[in-house]
Amino acid sequence: MTGTHSVLSSRRWAGMALALAGAALAMARVHDAAAADGVFRLKSPVIAPNSTLSNDQVYSGFGCSGRNISPALSWKGAPHDTRSFALTVYDPDAPTGSGWWHWVVYNIPADVSELPAGAGNPGGNLPAGALQGHTDFGTAGFGGPCPPTGDKPHRYIFTVYALKVEKISVPDEASAAMVGFMIHANALAKASLTALYGR
């Protein structure tokens, strides 16, 4: 009996050890998921929140004479099940009744967490597979701020979206609104940075 009891006790302890090891592994996975699902943030080395955009970002045309360079941007804290990213720049204060889309980038691979300065310009260094939609200037690529003279400073909202799909499918000539619809339909999370500009 003593020998049998000893064998049973050993098995019981072994079972408990396996259960504890399994629990520890599960907790580690939860911790990793929680770390990946931290606060989603967007930042730029050249744009502080609620600061004024510089002449580097201002549009060249429509009476404006900026350099029209898309700013460097980076993000972190996306949900762990993110499969791609999209980025938009939108002016809700444009006197159009529907705002103004200044930049639309989508199908950014999930392992990318930044865009360098000038990525939205001709010959810019966009990640492989990423596409740029048409803005309200009528062309694809970055179009900087150029609000009407005398308006109060407009808000320019830079937003990165974590998406649940690897790619969104839209026609090559799709409007920014159509791309935006597909982005919102597949968004897991978003992070924004707002800057200002007036003249």
pLDDT value at position 41? 98
pLDDT value at position 58? 98
d(C-alpha 18, C-alpha 8), whole Å: 15
pLDDT value at position 16? 42
Six token digits for residue 107? 């199908």
Other CB atoms within a 10 A radius of the CB of residue 174 amount to 19
Mean pLDDT by groups of 10 residues along the chain of 199 residues: 45 43 37 55 98 98 96 98 98 97 98 98 96 96 98 98 97 94 98 98
φ/ψ region of 163 (left if φ > 0, alpha if ψ in -120 to 50, else beta) reads beta
Domain ranges of the chain: 1-36, 39-197
Interacting residues of 190 by C-beta distance below 8 A, sequence separation 6+: 40, 159, 160, 161, 162
φ, ψ at 125 (rounded to 5°): -90, 75
User: Chain-wide mean pLDDT for the chain?
Assistant: 87
**Fold adopted by 39-197:** Phosphatidylethanolamine-binding Protein (3.90.280)
The angle formed by the CA atoms of residues 150, 57 and 174, to the nearest 5 degrees, is 95
pLDDT value at position 85? 98
pLDDT value at position 170? 95
pLDDT value at position 172? 87
**HEC secondary structure over 171-185:** CCCCCHHHHHHHHHH
49-94 pLDDT tens trace: 999 999 999 999 999 999 999 999 999 999 999 999 999 999 999 9
Question: Amino acid letter at 190?
Answer: K
